[in-house]
Amino acid sequence: MSFPVITIDGPSGSGKGTISQLVAQKLGYHFLDSGALYRVTGVAAKFHGVAMDDEPALAQIAANLDVRFETGADAGVKIILEGADVTREVRSEEGGMNASRVGALPTVRQALLARQRAFAVQPGLVADGRDMGTVVFPDAPVKVFLTASARERAQRRYKQLLEKGESVSFDDILADIEARDERDSSRAAAPLKPAQDALLLDSTGMSIDDVFNAVMRAFEDRV
Ligand code: C5P
């Protein structure tokens, strides 16, 4: 039986997480935050004292992740790794950087493939990531590639972190975003790039509502 998968790929801070969740909510679909799986792999590696370049050990960790995503009453998803709440570590800047390092390793990506595909169940799925439209769900009927300038993405991230009470420097955030873009786009395994049949959407200067409406129009056109 087939059912719709909507893939939303793009660089960090492009707003794809927010948009994917809004679209999933609107359609009553499941939601896959694939970045969280790479982030959790990095956190689990740190837990177990595995170096971020020890590919065989990292692939083992990725294949055997004991992780749960719990949606609480107060919104926000709690991430439970081996029984412990690791939401904070997973969402931190370090969590993002380590995710980008482990995500560059082909056997880690391979180990996470089946787990990601298992999210595609009735009535449908919105999948957020870097290679959802190119590798994980190449047959998805709706593919979006969402981007924004590095400066605007850094600005959004900076605001988010300040709101969370973290003390951060804008220049550090911008440098992190640029380093992560470079690593994600230049790696050999599943580099960040739009699928040939993706709708390209540059959200610089667009409101969340505008982007949401553009994605919903693409869905209505293609499904
Ligand atoms: O989307 P998020 O910022 O949580 O992703 C963290 C990192 O995980 C990305 O910078 C990227 O290197 C990696 N990632 C990936 N493939 C995905 C999702 C995330 O390589 N599908």
**How many domains are there within the chain?**
2
Amino acid in position 21: Q
Same domain, 182 and 162: yes
- Distance in Å, CA 179 to ligand 1 centroid: 13
Same domain, 118 and 170: no
Same domain, 69 and 91: yes
pLDDT at 219: 95
| Residue having the nearest C-alpha atom to atom 14 of ligand 1 | 35
Closest CA to 63 of 103, 120, 117, 108: 108
Q: Measure the CA–CA gap between 222 and 205, rounded to whole angstroms.
A: 26
pLDDT at 55: 97
Higher pLDDT among residues 106 and 160, named by residue: 106
- Distance in Å, CA 9 to ligand 1 centroid: 10
Does the annotation list 18 as a binding residue? yes
Q: Measure the CA–CA gap between 58 and 60, rounded to whole angstroms.
A: 5
* pLDDT at 210 exceeding the cut of 60: yes
> What ipTM was assigned to the predicted interfaces of this complex?
0.98
Percentage of the chain exceeding pLDDT 70: 98
Same domain, 139 and 116: no
pLDDT at 14: 92
Same domain, 109 and 129: no
- For the record, the structure tokens of 84 come out as 């412990």
Ligand 1: which residues within 6 Å by Cβ?
12, 34-35, 38-39, 96, 99-100, 103, 129-131, 180, 184
Does the annotation list 17 as a binding residue? yes
Same domain, 184 and 149: yes
Same domain, 18 and 100: no
* pLDDT at 21 exceeding the cut of 90: yes
Same domain, 40 and 104: yes
141: preceding bond cis by omega (within 30 degrees): no
Task: Specify the CATH number for the domain of residue 148.
Answer: 3.40.50.300
Of the candidates 122, 148, 164, which is a domain's last residue? 122
Same domain, 170 and 151: yes
Same domain, 133 and 214: yes
Same domain, 149 and 190: yes
Local confidence band at 199 (pLDDT 50, 70, 90 cut-offs):
very high
Same domain, 109 and 150: no
- Distance in Å, CA 99 to ligand 1 centroid: 6
Domain range for 88: 34-122
pLDDT at 184: 86
